[in-house]
Amino acid sequence: MLHWPFVVRLVIAVDGPSGAGEATAARAVARSLGYRHGDTGARYRAVGWRARQLGIALDDEAAVTAVAEAARFDLDDGAIRIDGHDVTSAIRTPEMDKAATLVARNAAVRTVLVARQRALGAEGGVVMEGRDIGTVVFPQAALKIYLDASPEERARRRAADPAHTSGRIAAVAEVAVDLAARDKADSTRSVAPLMKADDAVYIDTTGIPIDDVVGRVLALARERAGARGSGPGSRD
Ligand code: C5P
């Protein structure tokens, strides 16, 4: 792990549609910088999983919000537990994709989760990824990245990712239909829709190896950290 010699602890916001590579890029950037990685989608997914486990209908807004309020999350190096249940792989099914999208439309749930996300980033030193990080959660983030890729490429990546297809290789066409539905739901909802922040750096990752994307984000982070000075104790 390559930790920077200086101690500016930035907040780096990474947003974009499903399959654009946010999770992979954010994790790799966080690792190189010795920052925490905040996977916000995992929390929306976990709340959906827990609500269903408790027999709560996902359109029962008050009951799902109560689940989010009471939830104890434990995220560690890609693994996630909610209320003591390890849901690392259970939340990555096509069914939970849909559940998370429904949960994410609930404004009260968003209020609860956004407050927790802000607490996580309050000290800086975090790469947080999701849909609304640069627009809502951390509008003052030192560096905002908006990752995108063509719908075809995003569907190909998702279809080839066993973590997202219950361990089997899914048909690209099938995944493409689900992705298009999620894109639409995420970008047209009334609360915190997916959109690029005006000051986010747009990176089209179509056909670009993930290492190059990570290198580009790291270079931008270095630039922003340099602009803020490198003295001990500097904070984002
Ligand atoms: O990133 P991931 O695919 O795990 O996110 C699952 C769903 O959670 C998204 O489709 C979106 O509806 C929702 N989400 C959100 N805001 C975030 C992160 C995820 O609305 N910051």
pLDDT of the chain, 236 residues: tens digit per residue? 555 544 679 999 999 999 899 999 999 999 999 999 999 999 999 999 999 999 999 999 999 999 999 999 999 888 999 999 999 999 999 899 999 999 999 999 999 999 999 999 999 999 999 999 999 999 999 999 999 999 999 999 988 887 776 656 668 888 899 899 999 999 999 999 999 999 999 999 999 999 999 999 999 999 998 877 663 333 44
135 touches 146 (CB < 8 A): no
CA of 96 to the centre of ligand 1 (A): 11
> How far is 105 from 113, CA to CA, in rounded Å?
12
Atom of ligand 1 nearest to the CA of 91: 4
Structure tokens given for 24: 């992979």
With a 6 A CB cut-off, is 117 part of the ligand 1 pocket? no
**Which one of 95, 101, 116 would you pick to mutate in the ligand 1 pocket, going by the greatest count of ligand atoms within 8 A of its CB?**
101
Strands 79-82 and 201-204: unpaired
Tokens of 175: 């995944």
Is the separation of the CB atoms in 169 and 112 below 8 Å?
A: no
CA of 133 to the centre of ligand 1 (A): 11
- SS3 (DSSP) at 136: helix
Cβ atoms of residues 9 and 125 within 8 Å:
yes
